[in-house]
Every structure is written in C-alpha cells, then in structure tokens.
Structure 1
Amino acid sequence: MSHILLIVGGGIAAYKSCELIRLLRRNGHSVRCVLTEGGSHFVTPMTLAALSEKQVFTSLWDLKDEAEMGHIQLSREADLVVVAPGTADLMARMANGLADDLATTVLLATDTPVLVAPAMNVRMWQHPATRRNVARLRADGVTVMAPDDGAMACGEFGPGRLPEPGAILLAIEAALTPAGRPLAGRHVLVTAGPTHEPIDPVRFIANRSSGRQGFAIADALARLGARVTLVAGPVTLPTPPGVTRIDVESARQMADAVQGALPADAAVMVAAVADWRVEAARQKVKKDGGAAPALTLVENPDILATVATGPDRPALVVGFAAETEHVIDHAIAKRARKRADWIVANDVSSDVFGGKANSVHLVTADGVESWERMAKEDVARGLAQRIADALQARP
C-alpha cells in the first residue's frame, strides 16, 4: 500500500478530488488530505474525511493537529504528495518557496516526490508568469501534468482543465512505481467488442461480445505504461484511463482504423469481428407476405491476418479465438493460419460473452497454457504482464 498526501487547492475543479480519492483507495492506496482555505469553499473537510476515512488537515495553527501530527511529520510520512487541483496561485507560491499556510509549508518541508495536476483559466495557464513557475517547478524535480483542453466553468475553452481523475491516477502510479511500468515508451494496439454489419438501415448482423475483456486488457496495458490505442466496436463501456479510443461499427471500419493506428510494438486483437457481411439495402426490407428475403453473404477483411502479415507487422501479434467446441485444436490451427504469435482461446458456449469471468488457453510456439477461470480483469493483468515480458525480451 502506498501513502498519498493529497493537497486540495481552491477552484471549481476541487470537486474532482473526491473522485480521485475514491479511485486511489479502490486501487489500494491510502489517502490523507490537506484542504486549503480556497479548497474549503468548494468541498468540505467532512466530505474528504468520509471518503479517505482519515482526519483532514486544514490549518497550520491548529494546536491539536500540530501536537498529534505536526506539519513536518505530515510532509514526511507520504510516499507521494499530490496537488490537485493545482491553482495558479498555489503553483506560484510553490515555485517561489513560500510557506504561509499548511499546504505550502508541507510542500516546502517534504522530501518525497511531488506531483501537481493544474487547473485554471486558459489565459492564466498561458500567462508568461505561470509558464515560468511551471518551468521552475519542473526544474526543481516536481512533476507537473499538462492540463486538459476543453470548456471551462468560466465559459472559455482551451488548456487549463484539471486532468480527469483516471489520468491523475495513472500519473500517480507512474510516479510511485516507475520500475513497475515496463511498457513505458511502447505503443500497443487493442481491438475490442463486436462489429455490426448492416442488413438495411434498421437491422444488422452482430454477436454477443460485450467488449469487457478487450477493455480490461487495454486498461491493464496502460497501467504498465503503454501508450494504448483501443479500436472499439459498438459497446457502452467507459474508456479506460489514459487510453486513446477509436469507435467503429463495421468490420471494414475496424480494419481501416487498425491500419491507421499502426505502427505498434504489439497488437492484441480481442474484438469478435463478424466473418461476413451482406450488401445492405438502402431502405428497410419489408415483409410482403411472401418468402423471406435471401441474404447474400460476403467475407469481411481478415484483420488479424492482415496485421500479422503486413509491412507494419508489430513485434508481437496476439489474436483471440472464441470457440464453442474443440477449443484448443481450433486455436492451434488459427495461430498457424493467421500467422499470429499467440492465440488466446476461450470457450464461449456458456456465459463468457457479457460475463465477468473467463477461462482461457494461451497458445504459443512453445505449447498451450490453460489458465484457471478468473475475473476478466485478472486475465487482462496476466496477459498484459506476459506481453511486457515478451517485448522486454526482444531487441
């Protein structure tokens, strides 16, 4: 367990600190909060205490707090100090070594790493004084994240929004465990979900894939430091933190998106791509009391084989095989036919599609490994680590 000291600065974005605490605790971190006077106008000490399940510190002049904890001990007990939101004023005081309240005193006294997630008006972020302060903080060893672009509470648009809590979580975990991010600097392409092949403007051919396994793999790879591009079929899952998502509908759209995302160090083709499509009617096909209309099927592009044999072939190509019988035999044949490095095979005849657990067989040139049934997130973590090990073993 890592110990995080979260300093909540003033600004409307302070409300996102509540979600950040929840994410940190869900991922096994302990959180203690320092709430600035400005921050207390947006969130309350009681809210932060309830979420962190720890006392919240607000004043340098509280005799009881100083006697029981003390700002020096508070500054030293954490593995990482996080400032979120980092306002222009708070960063200016940090850059100039001021210590006129509890937050800045803790920051000046700490000997642990500091990470700042900025949040301010776009003009304030772009002002030369702020740019100088950011440069000075970075030169002093402080990690200052880039703010997000977007609409702001003041009605303006541009860089200055607090990064989303999920992105801050990834930055925190990177700062805590740089050695635990073996995929840093690597680009991994992941496909997930089904494809929908239109029959007419209102009907389509599809399958039962939920995308849950592919999204979990994208998330696990990002947590190991990879730059992940996720090409997703039509699903309703949230985008994992730090992952670039491209939404598509049909197999041909997915094939184009995959080619556009290359080159990559690894490709993990999890999507359940429809093997066939039909020539879609321009208008809704109507029942006229006669025989059902004939659907002429046309084979879709073979995305896995194209990636595995193309000029931009990744160093590691991983395919998935969703089977209902002879699972391992079909997976071994598919690996050879598609020229993939690995095939991850699973039996989808029961509740795998749409379910929360999976039991897979990893087929490689060295043989077959059968994994016990586990949560899809655990399958994802295991596969992501194997991918990291394989890429590290290659030049």
Structure 2
Amino acid sequence: MLQGKKILLGVTGSIAAYKAALLVRLLVKEGAQVKVLMTPAATEFITPLTLSTLSKQEVGVTISEHGSWSNHVMLGRWADVMLIAPASANTMAKMANGITDNLLLAVYLSATCPVLFAPAMDEDMWFHPATKANIAKLLSYGHQQIPIQKGELASGLFGEGRMAEPEAIIAYLHDFFSKGNKPLAGKTALVSAGPTQEPLDPVRFISNHSSGKMGIALAEALAEAGANVQLVLGPTHLSTQHSGVVTTRVVTAADMFSSCMELSPKADIIVMAAAVADYRPKNVADKKMKKKDDELNIELEKTKDIARTLGSQKKNGQLLIGFSLETNNEREFALKKLQDKNLDMVVLNSLNDAGAGFNYDTNKVLLLSRNGKEQALPLQSKQEVARNIVLAIIDLQHA
C-alpha cells in the first residue's frame, strides 16, 4: 500500500520521539520513501544520525544546515503526505498560529500535500482548552489527526495523551491512501442543476436550453472530493450513477425552491448551477389551449429567487456559490449578483465564448470570489471545469 509513497516525517520534542525510529523502519519496510525533519528539541530525545541511518536520507534540523534557504519549499512540494509524529503541544500551537521558527514549521507552512499529525503529551496538557482550540484549528485547515491512545504516560500517570503506536500509524496511512485524499470528507453539498419547466397547460411549458451537464459534473466532482452530495435536478434526460450523489428530481421552479429549502439547512456547501426560470405563467390552463386568434398574450409572474433566499439565510461557515450566464456586460452583472445575493463565489459564463454555455460538453468560465480573488479557466471539458471549481471551493473553505 505504501510502495513508492513519499512520506515527509516531522519529529518534535516529546519523549515519544523514540518511537520515530520504529516508525521510519516500518515505513521503509513498506516501500515508502522517507525524509525526516526534526525540531531542535527533538534531537534531545533521539539523534538525527539514528533516523538518517534508518531512512537512508539526510535529516533536516536547521535551514542553514539543510542546503539552500529555499529547500523548505521544495520539501513541501515533494511529499505525498506530511506526517508529524510525535506532534507536541508546543509544535501544534505553532502550526495552528502560523509561527515559523524552525525548519520543520517552515516546511509545514510550505506543504502542498495533505498533513497528518499524531499528538503526544501528558493528559493535563491534552485536556487543556488551548490544546483543544489548537487542534480544532488544525482540523479546520483540512489536516487529519491520528487518534491518541490511552495508557501509561511519561509522568507515570495513566490516561489519555499517548501517541499512537507506529503500527497503528502505519494502519492509518494504509486507510488514508486506500481512500485517497478526500478534502471534503464529512461535508454535505447541495447542488441544483438543469432547467425548470413552467407549464402553460397540460401539454405546453416555458423552459430553456440547459441540459444539466455542468451541474451534474459538479455534483460528481464534489462527491469525488469526499462530500455527501444532494443533487436537485430539473427535467433532463441526463443522470448520475455516482454512489456519493443522491438525486431529487423536480420539474418547476417552485419544486426546485421547495427541495432546496428543505435540504439547505444541513449543507456545508451550496452550488446553484440550475437554470431556474425567472418567470412563470400566472394562470395555467387545466385543458390544452386551442389555437384561435393570431396572437396569444401570456401574463407572467416572478418565481422565487432561490439563490437570493439562500443568501439571506446563510449560516456561519456555509458556502454559497452561484452561476451567472450573461450575453453582455458580463463581469458587471456577475459582480452585482455576487453582492446582491450574498454569494461567496460566482461562476461567470458568457454565451459569447465559443464552446461554452448550454448543451456543450465544454465550458469556459471566470470565477469571481467575494474575497476579491479571480480565476479564469480556459475552455475545458465540463468535468475538468467542475474539478477546478471544487478546488476553488476548497480554497474558500480555508480562506
């Protein structure tokens, strides 16, 4: 399972640092490439020579001793995963607050890979509110905590705070890589997709050209990232078979509004990709309308604005992403929608771009975020566009 995996092991100042020797040995035995970083305090518990001999790699302790000053950036990009074991209360506090006073922490802040940490400390430190707050911060960054164990502690007391045994950490890594990195694991996403149909009579309706391709691709990309996805899908022949997506079929704008209102309270991420009708016939005939006069006047009334309603009742921590399909003054109208509807990000589609818009298998969009960040995506398959939008959503979660 770990064959060829690049593991960056951070060892900090804890009595549990002695377990790093066995951990490195087990990782190498599994076929992993292991590079070790140590805090200066960690060298008081186990020597760099020991870990260098076991890993067959130079061990980094200080920036000045570890090649050029920019090596921490390269190390942060090299790894498939950064594992900090043991993670002392002191190092976790610095990680949580962005303090960078040694090589290990410089690499941590530069790391583009997933970060796992295995806490180790005495029970009183483990239960201190500051430690709990720091761990909560680290989890909010998308890092994963390897569960601590209960047993005899360095103080001689018996309780919680022991670092997981090396064998348990190896098992955790097996599970991590078998599942893949799922940055949205445990999150719930709500996606609307497709058109709506607003009936005139039993056989006719007002609709648009939306196929639902973009919204379905987004639902699947969110599920691939680990989210549990609720897809509210308007009338289309398309569907998804992804096991992580539950589909609710709707027809009218009122149906879509009702389903979105029901599902939105439990959603961490809401993506409104549907092309919902802005107006519907005020009166719907109960029988087929017969052709009589040369002209037919239909009185329309506004439908409920789903994105605006969701924006007005958005909870703390909930992300709301909308779409803006425009034919003129594209950027101006998209930014207005971003503000007026309290969106966190708007995906701007221009019908003036060749290969973008309804029914195409490709799309070209501009992502405009509330924090001022902009990202222009070139013409790509809608699946690729969806994956890039999901990456932008993940960035918003950590902003």
Shift in alpha-carbon separation, 1:2–1:235, aligned structure 2, 3 A: farther
Kindly name which structure, 1 or 2, has the bigger radius of gyration based on alpha carbons.
2
- The answer for the alignment partner of 2:375 in structure 1 is 369
Does the 8 Å contact 2:325/2:349 carry over to 1? Answer: yes
Q: What does the per-residue CA deviation read over 1:210-260, in whole Å, with 9 as the maximum and x for residues that have no partner?
A: 100000000000001100000000011122412000000000000000011
1:357 to 353, 362, 366: 362
Q: What does the per-residue CA deviation read over 1:311-333, in whole Å, with 9 as the maximum and x for residues that have no partner?
A: 65761100001111221111011
State how 1:153-172 maps to structure 2 within 5 Å.
Answer: none
- The answer for the alignment partner of 2:251 in structure 1 is 249
TM-score by length of 1: 0.53
Which amino acid in the other structure matches residue 360 of structure 1? V
TM-score by length of 2: 0.53
- The answer for the alignment partner of 1:281 in structure 2 is 285
Q: Distance in 1 between matches of 2:175 and 2:328?
A: 42
1:316 to 319, 344, 349: 319
Does the 8 Å contact 1:342/1:364 carry over to 2? Answer: yes
State how 1:220-299 maps to structure 2 within 5 Å.
Answer: 220-241=221-242, 242-263=244-265, 264-278=267-281, 279-288=283-292, 290-299=293-302
Select between 245-254 and 274-283 the one with higher mean Cα deviation. 274-283
| Count of residue pairs the alignment pairs up | 223
Q: Distance in 2 between matches of 1:378 and 1:360?
A: 11
Which amino acid in the other structure matches residue 195 of structure 2? P
Which amino acid in the other structure matches residue 204 of structure 2? R
* 3-state SS of 1:377 partner: helix
Does the 8 Å contact 2:221/2:390 carry over to 1? Answer: yes
* 3-state SS of 1:358 partner: strand
Deviation of the 1:197 alpha carbon: 0.5
Deviation of the 1:372 alpha carbon: 1.0
- The answer for the alignment partner of 2:309 in structure 1 is 306
Which amino acid in the other structure matches residue 224 of structure 1? A
Deviation of the 1:369 alpha carbon: 2.2
Q: Which runs of 5+ in 1 are unaligned?
A: 4-172
Q: Distance in 1 between matches of 2:207 and 2:272?
A: 17
- The answer for the alignment partner of 2:349 in structure 1 is 346
Q: Distance in 1 between matches of 2:175 and 2:222?
A: 13
Deviation of the 1:301 alpha carbon: 0.5
Q: Distance in 1 between matches of 2:185 and 2:391?
A: 13
State how 1:103-118 maps to structure 2 within 5 Å.
Answer: none
- The answer for the alignment partner of 2:107 in structure 1 is none
Deviation of the 1:347 alpha carbon: 1.0
State how 1:1-395 maps to structure 2 within 5 Å.
Answer: 176-178=177-179, 180-241=181-242, 242-263=244-265, 264-278=267-281, 279-288=283-292, 290-310=293-313, 312=315, 315-349=318-352, 351=355, 352-365=357-370, 366-391=372-397, 393=398
Q: Distance in 1 between matches of 2:316 and 2:190?
A: 11
Identity %: 37
CA RMSD of aligned residues (A): 2.3
Q: Distance in 1 between matches of 2:277 and 2:232?
A: 15
Does the 8 Å contact 1:174/1:181 carry over to 2? Answer: no
* 3-state SS of 1:353 partner: coil
Does the 8 Å contact 1:269/1:304 carry over to 2? Answer: yes
Does the 8 Å contact 1:218/1:240 carry over to 2? Answer: no
Q: Distance in 1 between matches of 2:314 and 2:382?
A: 32
Shift in alpha-carbon separation, 1:322–1:266, aligned structure 2, 3 A: same
Q: Distance in 1 between matches of 2:199 and 2:2?
A: 49
Does the 8 Å contact 1:265/1:316 carry over to 2? Answer: yes
Q: Distance in 2 between matches of 1:315 and 1:192?
A: 19
* 3-state SS of 1:370 partner: strand
Select between 213-222 and 346-355 the one with higher mean Cα deviation. 346-355
Which amino acid in the other structure matches residue 327 of structure 2? T
Q: Distance in 1 between matches of 2:175 and 2:338?
A: 34
Deviation of the 1:292 alpha carbon: 2.1
Aligned structure 1 segments of 4 or more residues deviating by more than 3 angstroms: 173-179, 311-314
Does the 8 Å contact 1:359/1:372 carry over to 2? Answer: yes
Which amino acid in the other structure matches residue 187 of structure 1? T
* 3-state SS of 1:372 partner: strand
Q: Distance in 2 between matches of 1:286 and 1:296?
A: 17
Shift in alpha-carbon separation, 1:330–1:177, aligned structure 2, 3 A: farther
* 3-state SS of 1:332 partner: helix
Shift in alpha-carbon separation, 1:382–1:259, aligned structure 2, 3 A: same
* 3-state SS of 1:180 partner: coil
Shift in alpha-carbon separation, 1:216–1:347, aligned structure 2, 3 A: same
- The answer for the alignment partner of 1:136 in structure 2 is none
